[in-house]
Amino acid sequence: MYDISKNLKKLRQQRNWTQQQMADVLFVTRQAVSNWETGKNMPDLATLQIIAEKLDISTDEILYGKNQTYEKVKKDTNKIKKLLLFIGAVYISSVLMVLFTIIYDLNPDVIVTGLTHYMLIVRPVLAFAMGIFIYQNLKYNGRIKKSFPEKHKNSVHIFTNITLLVQIAMALAITADTVWFYFNGRDFLPDAVMDWCVFMMSGLGIYAFILFVAVGILHEATV
């Protein structure tokens, strides 16, 4: 809700100006400033822009009492930073998962105990992380598509949906294999399938990191 009268008075008082001093800066009469502050009369759009320019503020600060655009940019930027941090953690975890898989394939007899810990601890954590990743994908899918030019939106829509389906399939595969291993002491899925899952997980981490960085760059470029 607009409260221009209150906001104009607050802006004047912040500068320790009298109504006459503010009138001199804006090249209007003192009575005009008084009418604005009492609500008897309101400045039109052109006058609002002049006031904002003279006071070196945005029109949002006159209309809302704060810079709405700046607050929105700050809020969105913080969200993007949190997403990048989360995706970075998922990516690092997936890379470690890939490395462990490669090491185990090369030296299966050396790290049998490590494999047990890997299956019962690391995989559930990664499956949980993938679940959060899927949730974030669903939550921000629309925003991601809106950040791209119109001609690319269909391609991005198809790509993100395919990626989401792959993520869900991978999360289910990792969870099922971990549960089966817990109760039966052996893998449910062939090693080749799980290798494919972990490599795909790493690739999706890279894809998501690049995608959200691109969204962040596009977001900064449009504000």
pLDDT tens digit sequence for 31-47: 999 998 888 888 888 88
Domain boundaries, the chain: 4-66, 73-221
Question: What is the spatial distance between Cα 114 and Cα 107, in angstroms, rounded to a whole number?
Answer: 11
Average pLDDT over residues 168-173: 71
pLDDT digits (tens, 9 = 90+) for 129-145: 666 666 666 665 555 55
pLDDT digits (tens, 9 = 90+) for 174-191: 677 767 766 776 655 555
What is the residue whose two structure tokens read 């090693």?
191
Decide if pLDDT at 201 tops 70. Answer: no
Instruction: Tell me if 57 sits within 8 A of 172, measured CB to CB.
Output: no
Share of the chain above pLDDT 70, in %: 34
Question: What is the spatial distance between Cα 129 and Cα 41, in angstroms, rounded to a whole number?
Answer: 57
| CATH superfamily entry for domain 4-66 | lambda repressor-like DNA-binding domains (1.10.260.40)
Going by pLDDT thresholds of 50, 70 and 90, the confidence category of residue 111 is very low
pLDDT digits (tens, 9 = 90+) for 85-109: 666 666 666 666 656 655 655 655 5
pLDDT digits (tens, 9 = 90+) for 8-23: 888 888 888 999 998 8
Output the average pLDDT for the chain. 67
Question: What is the spatial distance between Cα 46 and Cα 35, in angstroms, rounded to a whole number?
Answer: 17
Instruction: Tell me if 54 sits within 8 A of 25, measured CB to CB.
Output: yes
pTM of the model: 0.35
Instruction: Tell me if 189 sits within 8 A of 173, measured CB to CB.
Output: yes
Instruction: Tell me if 18 sits within 8 A of 9, measured CB to CB.
Output: no
**More reliable by pLDDT, 71 or 125:** 125
Of 116, 117, 118, residue with least CA distance to 96: 118
State whether residue 85 is helix, strand or coil. helix
Instruction: Tell me if 204 sits within 8 A of 167, measured CB to CB.
Output: yes
Decide if pLDDT at 222 tops 50. Answer: no
Q: Which pLDDT score, from 0 to 100, does residue 125 have?
A: 65
The tokens of 53 are what? 């320019």
Q: Tell me 65's DSSP state.
A: S
The tokens of 222 are what? 């449009």
Decide if pLDDT at 223 tops 50. Answer: no
